């Protein structure tokens, strides 16, 4: 496996250096002497350029890294490096062609780049380059996005984290809106404390233009709430809205393209019929079900009295609070709140029956002149009843019949978000991820607020003389949102352009018609005159890619080709393209890909596999065998989880960890505070990494167990339940897991097959076959395509089948057990706690009155199909288990 230690660039407003593992030396040897972020917003379309200038102050060559966080909805459209007077520009190519160029470079021992996804709203772009002694490098990254209106405002999010105070640090934002800016507010971490004095807002041209500048001094860069000796670390969030004096909307025409923003607010609200379908299965236990109850209680309080509502909870059974929709009277709401307070987690997940029950409830109680909405909240896959996803979607689509939208909220990372997305889109809705965090209830409330006030239904927008239009049909328009349509004008010689909007307001048809003169002088400055064409391309590509999940056959291929064509023409890094940066004289190649809300990650990641449309990252990796030999690969990949990366194809040191973090931190040891530490080698390390959630802490612990091994994974002596696993030296995870219950139940699970003995009968099952269920004598076995759910007595576990690098492996997880059961084994530890010690230069945790040196890791969680990546504190096995690994080994499975 190639050495990834030498060359990595990190784009997040942050520079690191891999020449040394000493963080103090890094800052002394690298001088970020200039850091500019310039964002221009023209009619909601934002183009942001990040320019960083860095000097190598060493008397020898070294790697300098560049990292910036960019919004997930943005497309990277330009990347440039200038080194010793030479400029190297990125060129966007079809992913397959870029991958071939990348592979050729790598086969010659050259290197690749890295981009990944972080948090809920940002993606991480990373790259690095070798800089000669006392030389300089300039990095320049450009990304573009169309700001989306939610709850009556637009948000422009800018992140900055240079990792050192910068002498010349500037953020310049210029917003130009033709109707005028009604309000503007600057928020975020970078607007607090002393930094607030560094922000200046200037309005001009009757509020058509606003400038926001942020020029903090080096001293100010160390004194804000989230700052320190490493300088700025946070976001600048600019929220604003525009004047809306014309209910027909805002129309702009420029160079043969037009954009129409439609957001009327002078129409009466429509009373709604809303049914909440709430998953109460066992996986919703703990904080998730508690936060769901809190959110529902708040949402019920916000219902208007002329709204009608219903509540459905489901596990393996579907329960209706009331069979019919009830008006949101004070008495009914109080009754409903009492019901919500008693929702408890239990059982399996029958999504099909629950959603169909919700559809039936609305269909049985039609109300003229109202808007109906279904909202599904679930955290997992269908595991009982109808479990075939295609059949469920077919059933739901047929039942709804395009009469009202279905909104799907996926709670956490163990949910099939692709399934929810497709089912929502097929029924005129959207899917939204609810992140497992302390504010999950606020996320649920926030989504409801977006759909709480419907104003129009069945909206159709028509543009005579327009062609190549973006989406023109919408089922609902909600207060605080905005409908955006863009297209081309067929005849540039026409002097006027007409728009027509037909919709339904409280059961009556309404029409909005407007005509503008196309020859009016443009309000767009010359430097931004192409923004409307790029806005049209951005919106078209976004919608074409979104539709891919719904299409099949030739239609899907045709739209994919059109999206690829536009991505290449406008140099957008999308899920179909990669950006290639080549150094002609040195033969270096760099490629970057954009991530997609899919599975396991949302950003640009270290390993690139452009043939895998289901991969979850975009990557810009750099591997260095010699300073003059490097390949850089930046591409975009499907993503499902906001902070999920998977590097395991690229490095075997640790399953899917952020290698740039790993190689710069010492391995933890256990004992007194004066412990010697070692830097992990940049070589393959054969170990399984386990995650251990800790109550009251946002970050779990993690620990390694060297391979190969046979481990006692879980045991409950009282119920005579045990689970053991065997790992091989060359593979991730486990190749075989054995579960025993009482004296006569024995289950052997391998990567190929499953064998169950109950003392008399023997059942053989193969992975990949149709849903298989087996129930007998307190034992329940449910085998899905890549998952097996096992319940023996009162303990339930799930075994996930993964495949990586063509090799299959298993990973176990506990999903159900009584609170009073005393579990032991590697997975049975539940009473662990820690406190992070402040003030220490090396991260230290206090555990059981002992200080343990640690460092923050980023690892894949194989307990879920999507292998989400999360941060954890890596500590030694002995510190967690208070025993040696040998105490958990077994001789036989």
Three-state SS for 34-48 is: EEEEEEEEECCEEEE
Instruction: Please enumerate in sequence order all residues whose Cβ is within 8 A of that of 693, keeping only pairs 6 or more positions apart, or say none.
Output: 700
Identical fold for domains 30-245+576-593 and 272-452, yes or no, is: no
Instruction: Please enumerate in sequence order all residues whose Cβ is within 8 A of that of 284, keeping only pairs 6 or more positions apart, or say none.
Output: 292, 345, 379, 411
| Tens-digit pLDDT profile for residues 655-666 | 222 222 222 222
What is the pLDDT averaged over residues 9-37?
52
Name the residue among 438, 447, 858 with its Cα closest to residue 643.
858
CB-based contact 191:58 (threshold 8 Å): no
Q: What percent of the chain has pLDDT over 70?
A: 81
CA end-to-end span of the chain: 32
Kind and range of the H or E run holding 764:
strand 762-766
Question: What are the structural domain ranges in the chain?
Answer: 30-245+576-593, 259-266+457-570, 272-452, 687-888
Reading the block at residue 647, the tokens are: 């590097």
Cβ neighbours, 10 Å, residue 245: 9
* pLDDT confidence of residue 614: 31
| Tens-digit pLDDT profile for residues 290-305 | 889 888 999 999 999 9
Sheet containing strand 234-242, strands side by side: 154-160, 234-242, 181-187
Residue predicted with more confidence, 97 or 195: 195
| Tens-digit pLDDT profile for residues 458-504 | 999 999 989 999 999 999 999 999 999 999 998 877 788 999 999 99
The three-state secondary structure class of 1 is: coil
For residue 23, name the pLDDT band (cuts at 50, 70, 90). Answer: very low
* pLDDT confidence of residue 589: 60
* pLDDT confidence of residue 593: 66
* pLDDT confidence of residue 152: 94
149 pLDDT exceeds 60? yes
For residue 7, name the pLDDT band (cuts at 50, 70, 90). Answer: very low
Residue predicted with more confidence, 606 or 325: 325
* Cα dist from 493 to 146, 517, 630, whole Å: 28, 11, 51
For residue 643, name the pLDDT band (cuts at 50, 70, 90). Answer: very low
Kind and range of the H or E run holding 25:
helix 23-29
What is the pLDDT averaged over residues 579-588?
59
315 pLDDT exceeds 80? yes
* pLDDT confidence of residue 839: 67
157 pLDDT exceeds 90? yes
* pLDDT confidence of residue 519: 65
CB-based contact 489:352 (threshold 8 Å): no
The winner for highest mean pLDDT among 278-282, 395-399, 548-552, 599-603 is: 395-399
Rounded Cα–Cα distance for residues 150 and 671 (Å): 51
Name the residue among 5, 9, 129, 3 with its Cα closest to residue 665.
5
| Tens-digit pLDDT profile for residues 436-458 | 777 878 888 888 999 999 999 99
* Mean pLDDT, the chain, integer: 79
Reading the block at residue 58, the tokens are: 């060493």
779 pLDDT exceeds 80? yes
679 pLDDT exceeds 60? no
Tokens 């069979």 map to which residue?
323
* Bridge pairing between strands 234-242 and 154-160: antiparallel
CATH topology of domain 30-245+576-593: Immunoglobulin-like (2.60.40)
* pLDDT confidence of residue 595: 62
Q: Look up the CATH number of domain 272-452.
A: 3.40.50.410
215 pLDDT exceeds 90? yes
Rounded Cα–Cα distance for residues 64 and 32 (Å): 10
Kind and range of the H or E run holding 784:
none
226 pLDDT exceeds 80? no
- Which residues sit opposite 131 in a β-bridge? 62
CB-based contact 158:235 (threshold 8 Å): yes
525 pLDDT exceeds 80? no
Name the residue among 285, 411, 243 with its Cα closest to residue 864.
411
What is the pLDDT averaged over residues 217-233?
83
For residue 27, name the pLDDT band (cuts at 50, 70, 90). Answer: very low
By 3-state DSSP, what share of the chain in percent is helix, strand and coil, each rounded to 5? 20, 40, 40
Least confident of 121-135, 273-287, 668-682, 765-779: 668-682
Reading the block at residue 790, the tokens are: 């096992």
Residue predicted with more confidence, 802 or 647: 802
For residue 606, name the pLDDT band (cuts at 50, 70, 90). Answer: very low
Residue predicted with more confidence, 42 or 619: 42
CB-based contact 334:302 (threshold 8 Å): no
Reading the block at residue 335, the tokens are: 């009754």
Residue predicted with more confidence, 9 or 149: 149
Instruction: Please enumerate in sequence order all residues whose Cβ is within 8 A of that of 473, keeping only pairs 6 or more positions apart, or say none.
Output: 459, 460, 461
List the alpha helices (DSSP H) in 514-636: 531-547, 553-569
* pLDDT confidence of residue 607: 29
* pLDDT confidence of residue 4: 30
627 pLDDT exceeds 50? no
Residue predicted with more confidence, 695 or 178: 178
* pLDDT confidence of residue 646: 29
């Amino acid at each position: 496996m190639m050495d990834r230690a030498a060359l990595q660039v990190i784009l997040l407003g942050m520079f690191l250096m891999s020449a040394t593992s000493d963080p103090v030396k890094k800052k002394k040897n690298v001088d970020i002497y200039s850091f500019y972020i310039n964002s221009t917003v023209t009619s909601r379309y934002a183009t942001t350029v990040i320019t960083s200038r860095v000097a190598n102050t060493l008397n020898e060559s070294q790697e300098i890294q560049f990292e910036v966080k960019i919004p997930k909805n943005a497309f990277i459209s330009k990347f440039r490096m200038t080194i010793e007077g030479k400029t190297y520009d990125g060129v966007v190519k079809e992913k397959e062609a870029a991958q071939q160029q990348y592979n050729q470079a790598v086969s010659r021992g050259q290197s690749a780049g890295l981009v990944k996804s972080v948090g809920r709203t940002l993606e991480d772009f990373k790259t690095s380059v070798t800089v000669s002694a006392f030389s300089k490098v300039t990095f320049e990254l450009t990304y573009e996005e169309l700001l989306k209106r939610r709850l009556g405002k637009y948000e422009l999010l800018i992140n900055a984290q240079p990792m050192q105070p910068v002498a010349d640090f500037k953020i310049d934002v210029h917003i130009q809106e033709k109707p005028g800016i009604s309000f503007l507010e600057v928020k975020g971490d970078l607007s607090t404390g002393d930094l607030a004095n560094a922000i200046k807002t200037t309005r001009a041209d009757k509020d058509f233009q606003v400038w926001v500048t942020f020029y903090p001094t080096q001293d100010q860069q160390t004194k804000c709430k989230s700052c320190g000796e490493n300088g700025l670390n946070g976001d600048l969030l600019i929220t604003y809205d525009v004047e809306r004096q014309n209910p027909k909307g805002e129309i702009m025409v420029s160079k043969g393209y037009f954009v129409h923003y439609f957001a009327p607010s002078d129409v009466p609200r429509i009373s709604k019929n809303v049914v909440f379908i709430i998953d109460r299965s066992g996986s919703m236990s703990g904080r998730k079900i508690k936060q769901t109850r809190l959110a529902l209680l708040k949402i019920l309080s916000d219902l208007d009295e002329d709204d009608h509502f219903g509540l459905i909870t489901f596990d393996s059974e579907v329960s209706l609070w009331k069979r019919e929709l009830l008006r949101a009277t004070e008495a009914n709401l109080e009754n409903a709140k009492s019901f919500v307070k008693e929702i408890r987690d239990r059982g399996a997940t029958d999504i099909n029956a629950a959603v169909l029950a919700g559809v039936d409830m609305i269909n049985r109680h039609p109300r003229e002149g109202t808007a109906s909405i279904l909202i599904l909240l679930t955290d997992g896959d269908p595991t009982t009843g109808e479990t075939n996803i295609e059949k469920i979607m077919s059933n739901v689509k047929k039942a709804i019949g395009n009469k009202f939208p279905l909104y799907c909220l996926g709670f956490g990372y163990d949910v099939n978000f692709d399934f929810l997305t497709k089912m929502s889109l097929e029924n005129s809705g959207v899917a939204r991820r609810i992140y497992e965090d302390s504010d999950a209830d606020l996320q649920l409330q926030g989504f409801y607020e977006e759909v709480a006030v419907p104003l129009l239904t069945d909206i159709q927008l028509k543009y005579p003389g327009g062609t190549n239009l973006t989406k023109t049909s919408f089922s609902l328009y909600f207060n605080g949102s905005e409908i955006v349509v863009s297209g081309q004008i067929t005849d540039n010689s026409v002097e006027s352009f007409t728009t027509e909007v037909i919709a339904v307001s409280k059961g009556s048809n309404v029409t909005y018609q407007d005509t503008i003169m196309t020859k009016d002088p443009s309000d767009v400055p010359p430097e931004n005159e192409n923004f409307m064409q790029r806005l049209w391309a951005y919106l078209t590509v976004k919608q074409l890619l979104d539709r891919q999940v719904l299409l099949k056959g030739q239609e899907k291929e045709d739209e994919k080709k059109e999206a690829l064509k536009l991505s290449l023409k406008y140099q957008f890094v999308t899920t179909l393209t990669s950006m290639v940066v080549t150094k002609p004289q040195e033969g270096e190649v760099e490629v970057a890909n954009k991530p997609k809300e899919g599975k396991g990650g949302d950003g640009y990641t270290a390993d690139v596999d452009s043939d895998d449309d289901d991969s979850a990252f975009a990557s810009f990796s750099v591997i260095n065998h010699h300073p003059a030999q490097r390949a850089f690969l930046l591409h975009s990949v499907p993503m499902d989880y906001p902070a999920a990366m998977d590097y395991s194809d690229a490095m075997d040191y640790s399953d899917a960890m952020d290698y740039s973090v790993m190689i710069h931190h010492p391995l933890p040891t256990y004992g007194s505070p004066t412990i010697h530490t070692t830097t992990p080698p940049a070589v393959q390390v054969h170990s399984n990494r386990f995650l251990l959630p800790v109550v009251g802490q946002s970050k779990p612990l993690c620990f390694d167990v060297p391979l190969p091994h046979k481990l006692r994974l879980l045991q409950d002596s009282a119920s005579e339940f045990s689970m053991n696993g065997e790992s091989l030296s060359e593979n991730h995870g486990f190749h075989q897991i054995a579960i025993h219950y009482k004296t006569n139940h024995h289950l052997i699970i391998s990567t190929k097959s499953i064998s169950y003995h109950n003392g008399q009968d023997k059942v053989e099952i193969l992975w990949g076959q149709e849903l298989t269920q087996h129930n007998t004598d307190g034992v329940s076995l449910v085998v899905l395509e890549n998952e097996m759910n096992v319940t023996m007595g009162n303990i339930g576990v799930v075994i996930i089948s993964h495949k990586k690098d063509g090799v299959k492996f298993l990973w176990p997880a506990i999903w159900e057990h009584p609170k009073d059961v005393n579990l032991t084994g590697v997975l049975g530890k539940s009473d662990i706690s820690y406190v992070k010690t402040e003030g220490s230069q090396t991260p230290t945790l206090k555990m059981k009155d002992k200080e343990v040196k640690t460092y923050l890791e980023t690892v894949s969680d194989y307990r879920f199909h999507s292998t989400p990546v999360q941060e954890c504190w890596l500590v030694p096995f002995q510190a967690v288990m208070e025993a040696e690994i040998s105490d958990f080994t077994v001789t036989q499975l």
